[in-house]
Amino acid sequence: MNVLQLLSAIEKVDPEVYDRLDTRRRVFQHMGIIGKTLAASAVPAALGAIFNKAYAQTTTAPSVNDVLNFALKLEYLESYFYNAGLGARGATATAAQTALRAQFSATNLAALDKIRTDETNHVTFLRGALGAAAIAAPATTEFDYTGGRGTQAGPFATVFTSAATFLAVAQAFEDTGVRAYKGGAPLLMSNKTVLEAALNIHSVEARHASRLRTMRRAAPNNDRASSVASTGTFTSSPKSWISGTDGGGPSPAQTAPIYGAGTQPAYIPASTGITFPAEDNVSQGGLNLQTTLASLNFPASAFSEAFDEPLDVATVSTIARGFTISTSTLF
C-alpha cells in the first residue's frame, strides 16, 4: 500500500480532508505513529480508524452548496415578500402597495425599504457565491404569503392590506432566518470564507428582526419605542428581542414552531454538543445558567433572552412550506 499515494487521491476528491482532521502535519504524525507501532497488515485498519474521524456522520450531511442554496431559498421567500408588499426598489408602486405604505410612519417605512434592499442584496450575494451551482430563481407565484398554500386566503389574508399583519409575517420570516443561519453554521465549517459571510448575514437578519419587533411594539405609524395606551402607560410587548418561546409568536397557531425545538438531524448527533433546543432554553455549554447564577437574582426570562438558538433544515423547511403553494417543491 502506498500511503502517500492514497492520501493524494483522497485530497483530490476532498480538498478539505485535512481540515476535517487536524492539520496536514498532524495527519503525517499519525502516519508515523502507525508505521512505528503496527505491523504492515494492520495499516489498512488503522487508516480506517483515522479517516473515520473525518467522514463519520458526513455521508448524509448537506454540502456547502446545499446549505447556501437552502439559504438562497429563504432569501427569495423574504425578498419576494417585501417586494410584493412594498414594491420592488426602483419600480412604481401599485395602488395596493401605495395603500400599505401609507399605513407606516416615514421613519418606519424607510426602515422597511432598507430591509427590503438588504434581502434583495442577500439574494444577489448568494447567487454570486454559488455561481453555476445556484438554484433556478423560483417564480413569485410559487409563494402564498397569506399562509393559504395557494388559496391566497390563509390565516394572514390581510398581509398586504394591513400594516399590523405585514409586520407580523415579516417578524416570523426574520426570526426564522436568524435561527436557520445559526443552524447552518456548523455545516459551513470547512469553508471559513463562506462561514464568515453567512454569519454576517445572520447578524443583519437579527437586526431586521429586532427593528420589526420594535415597530410592532409601537404601532406601524408610530416612531416611538412603545405606544401610549389611554391609561398613559407604555406597552411592553412584544419586546424587541425574543423572550422564552415568544408566546408562540405573532400568530401562535401558525408561528409557534418558529420558537420551538427543532429536530436533531442524523448527520449532527447530539453527542457533538450541537443541539436544537427551543428559544426558552436556559442552558449553554452544558451549564444551566438559571440555576448556576440564581444568586444574582436576574429575572427568569433573562437567561433565554441572552441567546438565540439554531434551527435545523427540516424544521425550517416545514415553516417555510406554509408560505408556498401546495404544488411547490421548493422546500
CB 159 within 8 A of CB 167: no
Lowest-confidence region among 27-31, 81-85, 123-127, 305-309: 27-31
pLDDT for the residue numbered 328: 98
Task: Band the pLDDT of 50: cuts 50, 70, 90.
Answer: very low
pTM above 0.95, yes or no: no
pLDDT for the residue numbered 237: 61
The gap from C-alpha 102 to its chain's centroid, in whole angstroms, comes to 31
Lowest-confidence region among 57-61, 263-267, 288-292: 57-61
Enter the C-alpha cell of residue 213: 419587533
pLDDT for the residue numbered 310: 97
Lowest-confidence region among 34-38, 122-126, 168-172, 261-265: 34-38
pLDDT for the residue numbered 19: 52
Backbone angles phi, psi at 152, to 5 degrees: 60, 25
Can you list the alpha helix ranges (DSSP code H) found in 235-326? 252-255, 289-292, 302-305, 313-321
pLDDT for the residue numbered 322: 97
Q: Is 250 helix (H, G, I), strand (E, B) or coil?
A: coil
Q: Which residue has the higher pLDDT, 211 or 11?
A: 211
pLDDT for the residue numbered 209: 96
Percentage of the chain beyond pLDDT 70 is 78
Is the pLDDT at 38 greater than 50? The verdict is no
pLDDT for the residue numbered 13: 46
How many CB atoms neighbour CB 202 within 10 A? 19
| Rounded distance between C-alpha atoms, residue 190 and residue 60, angstroms | 16
Q: Which residue has the higher pLDDT, 47 or 156?
A: 156
Enter the C-alpha cell of residue 232: 398613559
Lowest-confidence region among 25-34, 158-167, 222-231, 246-255: 25-34
Task: Band the pLDDT of 16: cuts 50, 70, 90.
Answer: low
Q: Which residue has the higher pLDDT, 217 or 251?
A: 251
pLDDT for the residue numbered 222: 84
CB 308 within 8 A of CB 206: yes
In 4-36, which positions are buried (b, 16+ CB within 10 angstroms) versus exposed (e)? eeebeeeeeeeeebbeeeeeeeebeebbeebee
Q: Which residue has the higher pLDDT, 188 or 32?
A: 188
Backbone angles phi, psi at 231, to 5 degrees: -80, -10
CB 217 within 8 A of CB 239: yes
Is the pLDDT at 278 greater than 50? The verdict is yes
